[in-house]
Copies of this chain bind each other. A is one copy, B any other.
Amino acid sequence: MRIGELAQMGQCTEQTVRYYEKKGLLPAAARTEANYRIYDSAHVERLRFIRNCRALDMTHEEIRGLLDLMEQPASDCGGVNGLLDEHIAHVDARITELAALKRQLAGLRERCQSNQAVNECGILEGLASMETEPRRAPQSHLG
């Protein structure tokens, strides 16, 4: 199978497949005489695994961690479980952050109910007078 078909199986573009190869998530493919990449079902499985992890918003590093752990099929899966737990914590942390943000934004929105002149808009006043806090390190890779 060539790259177009593989990409279809993984619900992604051919560029993305090449990108994964470059980044080492997918192994370098064998080539035909015409220098076309050729793949088999193992590649399909691996690509689908990667895409499923991406659908869950894992980073490449997290995915690489899982793929590495899978290389020792007989070893204990505690690392896998731990990695997933950490990622769930990333999602939780971001949800918490966004909930706080939403409260702040709702409070700001209340400061202007009806349209008025820009220089009297309570929202802009609020944005100007907020206390500027130092940007804290992100708790999560989820933007």
Binding site for B on A (CB under 8 A): 9-12, 45, 48-49, 51-57, 66, 69-70, 72-78, 80-81, 84-85, 87-88, 91-92, 94-95, 98-99, 101-102, 104-106, 108-109, 112, 115-121, 123-124, 127-128, 130, 132-135, 141-143
Tell me if B81 and A112 are in contact (CB < 8 A): yes
What B residues does A73 contact at CB under 8 A?
Answer: 117-119
The 10 closest A-B pairs by CB, nearest first: A143-B143, A73-B119, A77-B121, A52-B130, A11-B134, A78-B115, A77-B118, A11-B132, A51-B132, A48-B132
Contact (Cβ within 8 A) A88 B104: no
> How many whole Å from A52's CB to the nearest CB in chain B?
4
Look across to chain B and name the residue whose beta carbon is closest to the beta carbon of A55.
B133
Instruction: Please report the C-alpha to C-alpha distance between residue A57 and residue B52 in the assembled complex, in whole angstroms.
Output: 27
B11 and A77 within 8 A (CB): no
- A98:B101 contact, CB within 8 angstroms: no
Query: Is A98 touching B91 in the complex (CB atoms < 8 A)?
Result: yes
Contact between chains at B66 and A127 (CB < 8 Å): yes
